[in-house]
Amino acid sequence: MKVNGNSIRPGNVIEHKGGLWRAVKIQHTQPGKGGAYLQVELKEIMNGTKLNERFRASENVEKVRLEQTDYQYLFAEGDMYTFMNNENYEQISLAGELIGEEQVPYLQESMIVQIESYEEKVIGVALPEKVVLEIVEADAVVKGQTASSSYKPAKLENGISILVPPHIAAGTKIVVNTEDGTYVERAK
């Protein structure tokens, strides 16, 4: 589907220079001289190459529609992760690099993920935006350190270190953003 160059948003997949690219970051720029354009950081889906491109409103780009299917995460075996389609119970195994090395630690048993495919080929896995994890280790609060922006390091049950507010202690369940690995809130 053809769209204007200035309507690209982060997460969109476009066909560009003979490959599939995902928009990572965008920035609208309006120089003093000349027309406005959209500066887009693109990441090639198959090999991870990055590219910065400028798109003007007058340019058309091919936005790709990905087929998204819900799958349930079952188990890991080495670097292969097995998922099951809940509709037809078909299982597929994907390599960790396809999921994304930074997202693999957030996989939890029975988690529902969206597997994206293009022309019957799996090109990515989208985890839920937020997951609930338990703090297994947290530094003690330093008395007098009550500034509103002070955070302390803590370790999650999946082994990842994260910064949390001073009132969070070991054993507390928290909500973590899977995209950037940041603390969101205390789990309810």
| CATH numbers and ranges of domains, the chain | 2-63 (2.30.30.30), 67-126 (2.40.50.140), 130-186 (2.40.50.140)
State mean pLDDT over 54-66.
Answer: 88
Identify the band that residue 148 occupies on the pLDDT scale cut at 50, 70 and 90: low
Contacts of 54 (CB under 8 A, 6+ apart): 37, 38, 39, 40
Q: How far apart are CA 54 and CA 33, in angstroms?
A: 15
State mean pLDDT over 46-60.
Answer: 87
Predicted pLDDT of residue 69:
92
pLDDT, one tens digit per residue, over 83-94 is: 999 899 999 999
Q: Are 44 and 71 in contact (CB under 8 A)?
A: no
Mapped to the 3 state alphabet, what secondary structure does 99-112 carry? Answer: HCCCCHHHCCCCCE
φ, ψ for residue 150 (rounded to 5)? -80, 130
Predicted pLDDT of residue 142:
66
